[in-house]
């Protein structure tokens, strides 16, 4: 099986916390949920203490309100949510924005 190549683009506060705009994933095919877990491992491996999972997901593992996870510009909310397969794509990750 060939490796999948995914460009993960991070925005807003997550970009500031991770210190990068893009991260390249190369590996077996993954779902959005698995890609978020990989992003968490990437952060730890690069000495970053950001809890990526908590930034994007609720404790029950659902997508946090206000989070946008796009695959090639299409929101996973309109597909299979966290179970949406991600393959050879550009993933854009927008954490919830604060305000008030």
Span 17-52, pLDDT tens digits: 999 999 999 999 999 999 999 999 999 999 999 999
Q: What is the pTM of this model?
A: 0.93
Contact 10, 18 (CB under 8 A): yes
- Residue 81's SS3 state is helix
How far apart, in whole angstroms, are the C-alpha atoms of residue 17 and residue 48? 8
């Amino acid at each position: 099986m060939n490796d999948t190549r995914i460009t993960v683009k991070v925005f807003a506060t997550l970009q500031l916390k991770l210190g990068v705009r893009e991260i390249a994933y190369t590996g077996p095919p993954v779902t959005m949920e698995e890609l978020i877990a990989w992003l968490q491992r990437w952060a730890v491996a690069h000495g970053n203490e950001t809890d990526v999972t908590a930034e994007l997901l609720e404790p029950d593992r659902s997508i946090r309100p206000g989070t946008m996870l796009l695959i090639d510009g299409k929101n996973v909310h309109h597909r299979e949510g966290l179970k949406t397969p991600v393959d050879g794509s550009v993933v854009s990750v927008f954490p919830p924005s604060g305000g008030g």
